[in-house]
Structure formats: structure tokens, C-alpha cells
Amino acid sequence: MNLTVLGAGAWGTALAIAFAGKHQVTLWSHEADVVADLRECQENRRFLPGYQLPAGVAVATDFAAAVATAELLLIATPIAGLRPTAEKLRELGCKQPLLWVCKGFEAGSGKLPHQVVGEVLGCDAVFGALSGPSFAEEVAAGQPTAIALAANDPEFARAAARQLHGAHLRIYANDDLVGVEVGGAVKNVLAIATGTCDGLGLGLNSRAALITRGLAEIARLGVALGGLRETFMGLAGMGDLILTCTGDLSRNRRVGLALAQDKSLPQILDELGHVAEGVYTAREVDRLACQLNVDMPISTAVAAMLDGRLGAAQAVAQLMARDPKEELA
């Protein structure tokens, strides 16, 4: 089928590479230097250096032309770019089904991606999310990866999963769009916490405890927002959490490692050079947890660190000083 990827960052480029063998792919970007690299040397040296874009992938700068012939659209921008992209699609009157790979809550509104898209494109639009344990570099390299695809239309989710499923990128349909999105969003916050823990040299025991208790936090918030508890035991929950908390390719984990060195947030983000969604998601998660009366002490501690209200060592001390409770309560 004709597939257009909107956004040529690391993820958009990786997905264009992954889907090119099976589909006719167009990769759109508004960034002149990225487009120039992709056209001249078949490589995204800014966001995904070292990986060749297949010759059959069309690189586009004209948004309207890029989406006009597409049978499926895939938004690969950060969460901050989701609403503006959806608004462009609405202006063009686009009716194609739409997927996205961004993870997080919209800053300010606290809305999940499907709420943002539904608000812009209306209740008749067909859309969903791709999420799960996956680093762009490994997808681009063709290393075995498995992710979930959830949508507002279960039949579309199953059909799209079958069409996009490949030899190296396995895609599993899921009926729980809320749960898949919450898992993908909050795991980034927990990855910052785990990076901080590792940066402080607190050991493997503490890392395992933090990941496990973090999964409980994700599930509590997800269920409160309407997700299914079992979703958080799957690819978009536990799978993505483990990868992002332990993998050295994780940007959010690297933020936590830097926080443990007492670096300032502006310095950390400048050195990172990429968007780390957990930085922006942490504040929204903390606000939602307070609003819904959901106990999320790790996420609250991360938000406090990012806002400069707590140092890394102070955050750990605060968590360890909490009163004991039943594990599964």
C-alpha cells in the first residue's frame, strides 16, 4: 500500500526504512538539511546517522502532495507536533486512517494522543497508535522487534497490524488504545527515575524494585483513565518499560543519569540533542495523578527533580522514607 510517514526524525526515518521493503513509502520533512541529506546521500545524518534509506522511498517537502495519494498516514513527530500535524490534515480534508508513534501527554492539556487527534479530526476519523519496546536504531538495522497497534476501530487495528507486520518488525493488534498510550507515556518518566538510580550507583536490586513499582504506578493511572490492567503486562506496558529503563539507547534514561550528576535540565537537554518525552510528560503525569487521586510517588519525585524542587539524592531519600504498605494494595 501507499504509506506516508510525516516527520523525518529518528523514528520516522527508521519506520520508512522498515516498511520500504513491503510498501510504497513517502517520507515527509519540513527541515531542509534533513531533506537534503536524504536526497543526496540516502542518509539522515542529523537524526539517524549510519542507516541507509532504501532507494524506493520518496522524500517529500510538500505536505499536501505527500498525503494526497497515501492510503495510510503515520505521524512520527514528538507529541508537541501531533496537534499541528492533525490540524494540517483537517485543513486538507484528509480522510485516510492515521497512526502515530509519539508517546506522552500533551503539555498543558494533559490529553493523550487519541484525545488530541479526536478533538481535531472528529469522531468519524479512524486512528491509532503504534507503541512498544523499540529503539529507532534497532528498527532501522532490521533487528527483531515486536510492538502493539491499538486503534479506535478494532477491525482497522487488526487489518493494519496484518498489513504492516514484517519479518523483522512484528506488530500485534490491541483493543485498548488508552492503555497502550498510557504505557508508552509513563514509561518515559520511570526511565528517568531508573537512570537517576543507576547514576547514583544504587545497585541492581534498587533498579529492579524501581521498575516493578513503576509498573504498578503505570497500571494504576492507566486503569483510572479507562485502560485495561492486562495491557500493562504486555508489549506497550512491561515490555516498553523494561527496554526504556535499562537500554543505553534510551534518551529518558540518559536524562536520569545526568540528573544524578547534578547537571541542570537545560544543560542535559542541550547535550542530548533530541527530544526526551519524559521530561515534558512528568509534569502532566504528576498533575493527573493529583487530579485523579492516584498514588504515583516515583513519578511525583521525577517531576520534582525536573522542576528543581528536589535533588537526585533527596528524591531517593524521600521515596525510601515512605511508610510501608501491602505490595498489591
Residue 17 dihedral angles phi and psi, to the nearest 5°: -65, -45
Among 138, 151, 178, residue whose Cα is nearest residue 72: 151
Kindly report the number of other CB atoms within 10 A of residue 152's CB atom. Answer: 17
Q: Which cell is 23 given? A: 510498501
- HSE value, Cβ hemisphere, 13 Å, CA-based, for 139: 25
Q: Are the C-beta atoms of 277 and 103 separated by less than 8 Å?
A: yes
Cα gap 191→25, rounded to integer Å: 32
Among 234, 115, 228, 222, residue whose Cα is nearest residue 173: 234
Q: Are the C-beta atoms of 261 and 179 separated by less than 8 Å?
A: no
Say whether 22 is catalytic: no
Cα gap 191→165, rounded to integer Å: 28
Give, in order, the Cα–Cα distances in Å from 137 to each of 32, 81, 147.
Answer: 22, 21, 15
Q: Which cell is 281 given? A: 510528560
**Active-site pick, 22, 187, 263, 325:** 187
Active site residues: 187
